[in-house]
Chains A and B, each alone.
Chain A
Amino acid sequence: MKELVVISGKGGTGKTSVAASLAVLAGNSVIADCDVDAADMHLVLAPQIKEHHEFKSGHEAVIDIDKCTGCGVCLANCRFEAVSQHAKIDGARYFKIDPVACEGCGVCVRFCPVQAIDFPERLCGEWMVSETRCGPMVHAKLGVAAENSGKLVSTVRQKAKSIAEDGGYGIVIVDGPPGIGCPVIASLTGTSMALIVTEPTLSGEHDMQRVLSLAKHFRVPAAVCVNKWDLNPEMTASIEEKAKAAGAAVAGRIRYDRAVTQAQIQEKTVVETDAPSAEDIRSIWSYLNL
C-alpha cells in the first residue's frame, strides 16, 4: 500500500484542488484530509458521513475558585502565561487559567498546595469516516482554538491506512496542511512520497525550499509541481532547478486556469470538468505512476 501526501509549505497554492483531482484519477483510493484546522476537501468530494468520533486529547487545568487560597504557586510555575490573578468581591485574590493559553502540562495541578485545580480531559474536535464517489474518506474538524492538531492528523492517517489495509486499497491520498510544523510533520513522516505543489512566486519558491528540507529530514522522496506556472515562466524554471538541486523530482506544470475556481463553485474536482488545466493534472498523475 502506498501513501502519497500533498503538501506545499506556502498556503493556497492548490494542494486541495490537486489532491482531490488525484483521488478521482486514482479511481479507488482512500482519502485522508489532514488539513484538520481548515479542511476543504469535503467541499468538492461530497462525503456521505458513515461514522462520527469525538477527538479527546490531553487535559485542561481548571481552578476551583472556592478552594483557591490565592497563594500564587500556579502563576509562578506556569511557563505558558496561562495563569492570571483576579480579586473576589471581598478583595481576596484568586487565580484563573486561560483555557486557550493552557497547554495541559499539569504542573499547576500537581503543585497546588490545596488541590484546588481540576484536570479534566479536553475535547479537541471530531473526526469522520465517509464514503465518496472515489473511495472512502477520513476527515476531521479541530475544535475552535484547540490544541493537538498533530495528534488529530495522526488519528486521521492511521484510520485511513487501516481502511486501506482491510479493504485491499493500493493507495492512500493525504491532503496535508500548509507550513512545516507539527501537523505537517504528522502528515509527512513515513509516507511513500510527498507531492509538493508550489507557485511561481518568490514566496512559493522560499517556502518550497523549506518544505523540501523537511521531506529530506524525514527521508520522504519528494516530487514538485508548479501550479499557475505561466504567471511567471522564468520563476517556474528557477523553482524546478532548485527542486532538482535539492534532490526532488519535477512532476510537471499546471497552467493558470480560471476554470479551477469555477470547478470549486460547481463542487467538482478540476479533472471532472473541461478545465484546460485538467490535462496537466492528468499528466502529473501518470508521471507519479502510483
Chain B
Amino acid sequence: MVIAVASGKGGTGKTTVSVNLAKAFGSAVQLLDCDVEEPNAHIFLNPSVSSEKVVNILVPEVDETRCDGCGECSRFCEYSAIVSFGSKPLVFPEMCHGCGGCARVCPKNAIHEVQKRIGVVKSSEAGNIVLIEGVLDVGVAMAPPLIRAVKSSLNKNLPAILDAPPGTSCPVIATLRDVDFVVLVTEPTPFGLNDLRLAVDMVRQLGIPFGVVINRSGAGDDRVHAYCYEEQIPLLMEIPDDRKIAEAYSRGSLIIEALPEYRGIFKGLINKISELKEQALSK
C-alpha cells in the first residue's frame, strides 16, 4: 500500500504525520520524502545515509558547425528553452523540460542531448524505516523529474508513505500519481480551510480515496469540522494544539517518542486508512 500525506497549505504538519506514521508502523516501511524543494523528514529520523545518486535531465547542446540557423528547434520548443533569432540558437537549460523534441526536429542533426544535474536521491535507514529522499539543487526550477526519480526507487513489495510538497500544482500531482490513499493534513483556521478545499478538489479530480487529519485542533474554529461533515469526508485523526508537541517538533523529535501517549493514536490512523482503502476497493 502506498499512502501519500499532502495538504494545500504549507506548515500544517505533513512531515509530522508522515514520520510519526512511519515510526508507528513498527514493521518495515518506506518513507519517500517527495518535498524535494524543502525535504525535512531526515531531521526527525537522523538516518545514516547509505547511498546517494545524482539525478540528471537531458537538455540540448547545439553543434554550431552543423547548425545553419534555420530556427526549427526554436519554433518547436513549447518552453522557450531554445531560442533562435535567425541565428545559431541559445539554450536556456533551466527552462527545459527535457522532452527531446528539438534534437529530433533538427534537420541538420546539429542538436544532441547532454545530462544536466537537478539534484540527488539519498537512501538511508532508521530503525524500521527506509528513507528515500530527493534534494533539489538550489536554483533548479523543476521539481517533478526529481520526484519521479524518488518514486522510481520505490520497492512495491513494502508499504510506503510519501511526504508530499505543499500546494496543488505539478510537484504535488507528480507525487500523488498512482498512490492508493491520500491523507490531507490541515489546521482549523480560515487559511487551513480554504487550502483544504483546493486540495480536496484536486484529490477528487485524481480519483484517489482520501481522508483528513486536523492538526492543532482547538487552535481556531470549527469550520473545518463542519466542512468535512457536510462533504462526507472521513476525519482520520485530530492532533491537539499542544505546546509540548510544538516544542518536540522544534527540536526535531518524534511526537510518539517525546509523548508516548500518542503512539496509539497513530496506530489507529494506520488501521483507519487500511479500512477506508478496503472500502474504496470493494466499491
Residues of A whose CB lies within 8 Å of any CB of B are: 8-13, 16, 35-38, 40, 43-44, 58-59, 77, 79-81, 100-101, 103-107, 110-111, 142, 144-147, 149-150, 177-185, 199-203, 206-207, 210, 213-214, 217-218, 231-232, 235, 258, 261, 264-265, 267
Contact = CB atoms under 8 A, between A and B. Distances in A.
Interface string B47-76: 000000000000000000000000000001
Contact of A185 (B141, B194, B206, B249): B141
Contacts, number: 185
A122 to B, nearest CB: 10
B138 A9 contact: no
Contacts of B173: 100-101, 145
A182 B11 contact: no
A224 B276 CA distance: 43
Given A43-B194, A145-B173, A214-B139, A177 B40 contact: no
B166 interface: yes
Nearest to A10: B38
B97 A107 contact: no
Contact of A38 (B35, B100, B104, B195): B195
B237 interface: no
Contacts of B274: none
Contacts of B190: 40, 43-44, 264-265, 267
Contacts of B40: 10, 202-203, 206-207
A111 B104 contact: yes
B275 interface: no
B189 A142 contact: no
18 contacts: A11-B38, A12-B9, A12-B12, A37-B167, A38-B194, A79-B100, A105-B99, A106-B99, A110-B76, A145-B206, A146-B169, A179-B143, A181-B37, A200-B250, A202-B250, A203-B249, A207-B40, A261-B220
Nearest to A202: B252
B191 to A, nearest CB: 4
Contacts of A217: 138-139
Provide the main secondary structure of the chain B interface. loop
B78 A105 contact: yes
Contacts of B233: none
B250 A231 contact: yes
B142 interface: yes
B257 interface: no
Contacts of A44: 190
A199 to B, nearest CB: 8
Given A105-B78, A111-B104, A203-B15, A145 B138 contact: no
B38 A178 contact: yes
Interface stretch (B24-32, B123-131, B197-205, B262-270): B197-205
A192 to B, nearest CB: 20
B209 interface: no
Contacts of B43: 202-203, 206
A144 B168 CA distance: 7
B114 interface: no
B15 to A, nearest CB: 7
Most chain B CB within a 10 A radius of its CB, from A107, A110, A217, A261:
A261
Contacts of B37: 178-181, 184, 210
Given A145-B169, A232-B250, A264-B190, 10 more contacts: A12-B166, A13-B11, A38-B8, A79-B99, A105-B97, A145-B168, A178-B37, A180-B136, A232-B247, A232-B251
Nearest to A78: B99
